Structure 1
Amino acid sequence: MSSYTLFELNEYIKRVIALNFQEPVWIECEISQVKESRGNFYLDFVQKKEDSDEVVAQSSGYLWYKSALFLKKKLGDLFAALLKDGTAVKIKVYIEFHERYGLKLNIEDIDPSFTIGQLEMLRQKIIQRLKEEGKLDSNKLITIPSVVQKIAVISSETAAGYIDFVQQIQQNIYDYQFTHTLFSAALQGSNTEKEVTAALMNIYERADEFDIIVIIRGGGSKLDLAGFDNYLIAHTISVSPLPVIAGIGHEIDLTVTDIVSYFSAKTPTAVAAWLIDHNAGFESKISDKASQILQSAQQIVRNHILFVNQMISGLAVLPSEIISRNAMFLENQMSKLAFFAESKIRSHKDKLTLIEKTIELSDPENILKKGYTLVRHGNNIITKASEILDDTRYVIVFSDGNVSVKKDKNG
């Protein structure tokens, strides 16, 4: 049974590869690790199962110094952004195989459009997931304080953007007073997710100390911002108890972090300007209200002055009018009283005359003169025949005298 030595096998593999891959080829993979030494770059590549972190293929490669210089010149700032752990890349490589060191990929070129496209696909997936979870606009629904003073800042202490932000809010033309607390975090690279989310959680634990959260960093390429197209960062912002303002430094593109934040600005200085304008807007509203109150108060005073003047003018005429009106009333009442008194006197005079006549007609003397008599027994007047007793003397009174009579038993 024939066999090969390891060297013979590897030499055979080397010839097969050299025969079949005489020209460089483009491959798609993910950079799992990058190391630099004396201008040379040594990289590990992986391919993962879709929607999983399971590695299904792995290899290593290198980018020699001269090729690196060429790509730096070609790609500019994108070069550093592409050669980072976790970046999906499309690279043009020569496939080499060494009997001792095995398969190596010699990088000749990098296609940045592939990486950008992959990042955009990832970005869209994250946005869609946040939409489905109802988290995309959560932070925008928070009510921002009318006046912002206490700011929690997530940035790097040495970042130019952070320094610009602090200078802007401290030297504002309105002399507004702001306080800020820095929560330091990596704003690019593989540690961005971990450190930014940790900073956010630290702030949430002290939420009552702040009015707002600001995430700021300096400018950079589109790939430098890839760390903020991150689901965990976006989700953490969506559950924030405070409004989050993003100023992560890009003139054109919006990251997922920008989209989920309460407000986003292109630069840290633009964030500072927005905060200053926000407070100025409130001050302007207060000034307008104060002016309205002053104008209303002045109008009320003017109205009252006019009313008082009208009252004074009215009082100058009113007394004479009142006196005249009351004099007429009294005169009318006096006339009524005189008429009423005269009428009453006449009425009572007529009644008295009638009474006098009645009394006169009722006088016994006048009655006797008419032929009537009056029978008396002592002081009593006899009004009935049945009251006359036998053997009793009575006095009959006539108009011209009295006659004494006695009734005998015979009648």
Structure 2
Amino acid sequence: MESNISLYELQQLIKNAVYIGTPDIYWVVAEVSEIKVNSFSGHCYLELIEKEKTGEGVKARIRATIWKNNYLLISSKLENTIGSSIASGTKILFKARVEYHELYGISLSITDIDPSFTLGEMEARRMAIINQLNEEGVFNMNKELEFPVLPQRVAVISSKNAAGYTDFINHLNSNNEGYSFKTTLFETVMQGEQTEESLLISLDKIGETVNEFDLVVIIRGGGSKSDLAWFDNYNIAFYITQFPLPVVTGIGHDKDVSVADMVAFQSFKTPTAVADHLIESFLEIEENLILFGSSIKEIANKQIKEAKQSLNEAIFELSASSANITSIYRNRLFSLQNNIVSKSIGTLSKYLSIVETKRGQIDKSAAYMLKSWKETLELKITGTKESTNRYLKEKQVDIRILTEALNNMDPKNVLKRGYTLTYRDGVIIKDATNLSVNDIINTKFRDGNITSEIKKIDKAKKRL
């Protein structure tokens, strides 16, 4: 039988092979798949991957650790260089050595990261997104939409707890001109890995009720450059280009512009700047209306002046012949008046005769109908009286019969007919089975009572 070794011994062989095979410290390129910083120890734990060239599959994966002291230095260097720390989805060039542990297996211990490489990768990825949108011919599609004349109904994509959202709402509602806006918040995650999914869901919800809004505003407060990187996203940018309403952004960065800013209808540095733009749109419309009203007034006054002049000229020309025209029409009116009066008198006489005839007919018909109704009513009253008297007599007979029956059932009358009533303790005895020997009973006759003591009970046999 061949010799065997323990698991620990095998692990030691593997460990020695790893250290012998990878004795140096290496600069490695990989993508951060997951990252977690232990709040208690301060150590940073990562999962690093390398994807296939197609970008769909993973061809390599390994765990890595940045110990607390190194992590503080590396984070500080990244913040100062690229404005952010390590984040999921970021490609990094790091310095590490291979380690092997009997319990946790193989891993990398990272001692340094090159920020310039990460910065270049981020910019390269951003440019790839911009180029793809341009190649697809959609980069400027949202910019080609027509901005609403009065952008009053505003769909807001933001986080309700974000300071930028609060500033936007307060600034919009407290404008000095007193303009009124209707804002609807679509709660959205504005940083982190859920940004893309959450923002696209909000755009879909707005799209379902697109006729209720004039435009979409995407706003958030300030933050690091890494926070802005979440908006360098192809899917977010593509959704904005395809959206049927103008999309205005105020993501809150003074120096940097995201891809989402680039494809939006218009972008501003801060949420309050977006609010100022909406207010200024109203103010511009108001000023144009005032100017338009002044122009209309000026044109109207000019036309009125010209019309007055034309009227005065016409009055002057007509004044010479007005007397003759008035005389002719006065004679025509007198003639017409006489004809109307003559015809009216004849017509009135005719209709008065017709009215008198109809009134006589109506009087006769009404008198006949009243007489007929009176006779019918008298007959009904007579019949009702007779049936009522007959019913009362029948009921009086029934009452008399019932009264006689009740009198016959009266205990006094029952005793008069020779019957007796037997009591025990004041209760009438109806059945011998309710009595016992030595019971005292009272028997009531028509003319008196007797008291007895029971000595014997003969119970009757049941009949079959």
TM-score by length of 1: 0.70
Matches within 5 A, 1:295-374: 295-305=298-308
What is the rounded CA distance, in whole Å, between the counterparts of 2:175 and 2:12 in structure 1? 75
Matches within 5 A, 1:130-145: 130-145=133-148
Report 1 or 2 for greater relative contact order, CA contacts < 8 Å, sequence distance ≥ 6: 1
What is the rounded CA distance, in whole Å, between the counterparts of 1:78 and 1:182 in structure 2? 35
**Partner of 1:228: helix, strand, or coil?**
coil
TM superposition shift of 1:164: 0.8
What is the rounded CA distance, in whole Å, between the counterparts of 1:87 and 1:81 in structure 2? 11
TM superposition shift of 1:310: 6.8
1:100–1:189 distance in 2 versus 1, CA, 3 Å: same
Q: Who is 1:326 aligned against?
A: none
Q: Is the 8 A contact 1:14 1:99 kept in 2?
A: no
Alignment counterpart, residue 84 of structure 1, candidates 72, 83, 87 = 87
Q: Who is 2:35 aligned against?
A: 34
Is 1:182 aligned with 2:161? no
Q: Who is 1:153 aligned against?
A: 156
Alignment counterpart, residue 95 of structure 1, candidates 90, 98, 118 = 98
What is the rounded CA distance, in whole Å, between the counterparts of 1:121 and 1:73 in structure 2? 23
Q: Is the 8 A contact 2:83 2:224 kept in 1?
A: no
What is the rounded CA distance, in whole Å, between the counterparts of 2:158 and 2:236 in structure 1? 14
Could you list the per-position Cα deviations for residues 275-300 of structure 1 after superposition, in whole angstroms to 9, with x for gaps in the alignment?
11122222221111111111112222
Is 1:6 aligned with 2:17? no
Aligned residues: 315
TM superposition shift of 1:241: 1.4
Could you list the per-position Cα deviations for residues 369-401 of structure 1 after superposition, in whole angstroms to 9, with x for gaps in the alignment?
xxxxxxxxxxxxxxxxxxxxxxxxxxxxxxxxx
Could you list the per-position Cα deviations for residues 135-158 of structure 1 after superposition, in whole angstroms to 9, with x for gaps in the alignment?
111111222210011111111010
Q: Who is 1:205 aligned against?
A: 208
Q: Is the 8 A contact 1:78 1:223 kept in 2?
A: no
Q: Is the 8 A contact 1:78 1:221 kept in 2?
A: no
What is the rounded CA distance, in whole Å, between the counterparts of 1:95 and 1:184 in structure 2? 44
What is the rounded CA distance, in whole Å, between the counterparts of 1:158 and 1:231 in structure 2? 26
What is the rounded CA distance, in whole Å, between the counterparts of 1:144 and 1:299 in structure 2? 35
Is 1:257 aligned with 2:240? no
Is 1:66 aligned with 2:69? yes
Alignment counterpart, residue 105 of structure 1, candidates 108, 111, 119 = 108
Could you list the per-position Cα deviations for residues 162-196 of structure 1 after superposition, in whole angstroms to 9, with x for gaps in the alignment?
11111111111211100111111111111111100
TM superposition shift of 1:306: 5.0
What is the rounded CA distance, in whole Å, between the counterparts of 1:145 and 1:12 in structure 2? 71
TM superposition shift of 1:14: 4.1
Q: Who is 2:26 aligned against?
A: 25
1:270–1:73 distance in 2 versus 1, CA, 3 Å: same
- Runs of at least 4 residues off by over 6 Å: 1-4, 77-80, 309-312
Is 1:220 aligned with 2:247? no
Could you list the per-position Cα deviations for residues 90-121 of structure 1 after superposition, in whole angstroms to 9, with x for gaps in the alignment?
22323333344333222223333322221221
| Deviates most, 122-131 or 202-211 | 122-131
**Partner of 2:279: helix, strand, or coil?**
helix
Matches within 5 A, 1:289-300: 289-300=292-303
What is the rounded CA distance, in whole Å, between the counterparts of 2:15 and 2:73 in structure 1? 32
Could you list the per-position Cα deviations for residues 212-268 of structure 1 after superposition, in whole angstroms to 9, with x for gaps in the alignment?
111111112222111111111111112211111111122222222112111111111
Q: Who is 1:123 aligned against?
A: 126
| Deviates most, 252-261 or 170-179 | 252-261
TM superposition shift of 1:81: 3.8
What letter corresponds to residue 74 of structure 1 in structure 2? K
Is 1:271 aligned with 2:274? yes
1:76–1:119 distance in 2 versus 1, CA, 3 Å: closer
Q: Is the 8 A contact 1:10 1:98 kept in 2?
A: no
What is the rounded CA distance, in whole Å, between the counterparts of 2:162 and 2:109 in structure 1? 35
Q: Who is 1:194 aligned against?
A: 197
Where do 5+ consecutive residues of structure 1 fail to align? 320-411
Alignment counterpart, residue 249 of structure 2, candidates 246, 249, 252 = 246
Tell which structure's C-alpha radius of gyration is larger. Answer: 1
Where do 5+ consecutive residues of structure 2 fail to align? 321-464
Q: Is the 8 A contact 2:18 2:98 kept in 1?
A: no
What is the rounded CA distance, in whole Å, between the counterparts of 1:182 and 1:205 in structure 2? 15
Alignment counterpart, residue 286 of structure 1, candidates 282, 286, 289 = 289
What is the rounded CA distance, in whole Å, between the counterparts of 1:83 and 1:102 in structure 2? 24
Q: Is the 8 A contact 1:140 1:260 kept in 2?
A: yes
What is the rounded CA distance, in whole Å, between the counterparts of 2:94 and 2:19 in structure 1? 23
What is the rounded CA distance, in whole Å, between the counterparts of 1:309 and 1:93 in structure 2? 102
Q: Is the 8 A contact 1:265 1:271 kept in 2?
A: yes
